[in-house]
């Protein structure tokens, strides 16, 4: 069943702040095999002009995805989450995420489409720091595959 087009443009309330911790960044960097000291050593980060350790470029997805979840699971939208796959992902950074950041995410549904029975949802997550400055925008395309004919 095609999704409701009236959801396009809908913006959800901003999340409570997520505090980015040095040890969480270290854990993430280790999980993706990153050994660059800029992720773990504040002195190494400072040599590149960063005030503290920074997070790998895709780290912020763990925060934006959690917020996109409230969109995807909005019962009024009616997406079949069990059939959802990740189609595209893009980030545009004003600056890297760093330890000590308190980040909020504001999610907006940019597009709702149906193609060949698949439901396609584009969600934009705007990530701001405690001072209200833009840090990164994450665009997530989710595809709910068509259910097989019974």
Partner 1 sequence: MTAKIAYDDVEVGTELPAQTFPVTRESLVRYAGASGDFNPIHWNEKFAKEVGLPDVIAHGMFTMAEAIRVVTDWTGDPGAIVEYGVRFTKPVVVPNDDSGAEIEVGAKVAAKLDDNTVRVDLTARSAGQKVLGMSRAIVRLA
Sole binder of partner 1 in the list 4, 19, 80, 88 (CB under 8 A) = 88
In degrees, rounded to 5, the angle at the alpha carbon of residue 47 between the alpha carbons of residues 51 and 34 is: 85
Q: Does 36 bind partner 1 (CB under 8 A)?
A: yes
12 or 139: whose CB is closer to partner 1? 139
Question: What string marks each residue from 117 to 136 as x (binds partner 1 by CB under 8 A) or -?
Answer: --------------------
Q: Give residues 39-58 in contact with partner 1 (rule: CB under 8 A).
A: 39, 48-50, 54, 56-58
- Total Cβ atoms within 10 A of residue 124: 18
User: In this structure, what token pair is assigned to residue 14?
Assistant: 């901003």
DSSP 40: T
Question: Of the candidates 28, 77, 120, 126, which one interacts with partner 1 according to CB under 8 A?
Answer: 28
Q: How far is the CB of 131 from partner 1 (least distance, A)?
A: 18
Which is nearer to partner 1, 20 or 91 (by Cβ)?
Answer: 91
Q: Is 31 in the site for partner 1 (CB under 8 A)?
A: yes
Hey, how many other C-beta atoms are within 10 angstroms of the C-beta on 9? Answer: 11
Hey, CA dihedral for 101, 54, 124, 134, is it positive or negative?
A: positive
Please count the CA atoms within 13 angstroms of the CA of 141 that sit on its side-chain side: 11
Question: DSSP string spanning 115-126?
Answer: ETTEEEEEEEEE
Task: Check binding of 150 to partner 1 (CB under 8 A).
Answer: no
Q: Which residues bind partner 1 (CB under 8 A)?
A: 24, 27-28, 30-34, 36, 38-39, 48-50, 54, 56-58, 61-62, 65-66, 82, 85-93, 95-96, 139
């Amino acid at each position: 069943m095609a999704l409701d087009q009236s959801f396009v443009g809908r913006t959800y309330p901003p999340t409570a702040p997520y505090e980015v911790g040095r040890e969480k960044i270290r854990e993430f960097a280790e999980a993706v095999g990153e050994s660059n000291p800029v992720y773990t050593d504040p002195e190494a980060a400072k040599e590149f002009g960063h005030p503290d350790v920074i997070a790998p470029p895709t780290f912020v997805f763990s925060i934006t995805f959690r917020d996109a979840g409230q969109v995807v699971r909005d019962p009024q939208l009616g997406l079949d989450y069990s059939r959802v796959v990740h189609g595209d992902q893009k980030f545009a950074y004003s600056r890297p995420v760093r330890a000590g950041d308190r980040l909020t995410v504001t999610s907006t549904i940019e597009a709702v489409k149906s193609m060949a029975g698949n439901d396609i949802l584009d969600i934009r997550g705007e990530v701001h720091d405690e001072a209200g400055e833009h840090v990164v925008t994450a665009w997530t395309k989710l595809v709910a595959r068509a259910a097989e004919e019974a």
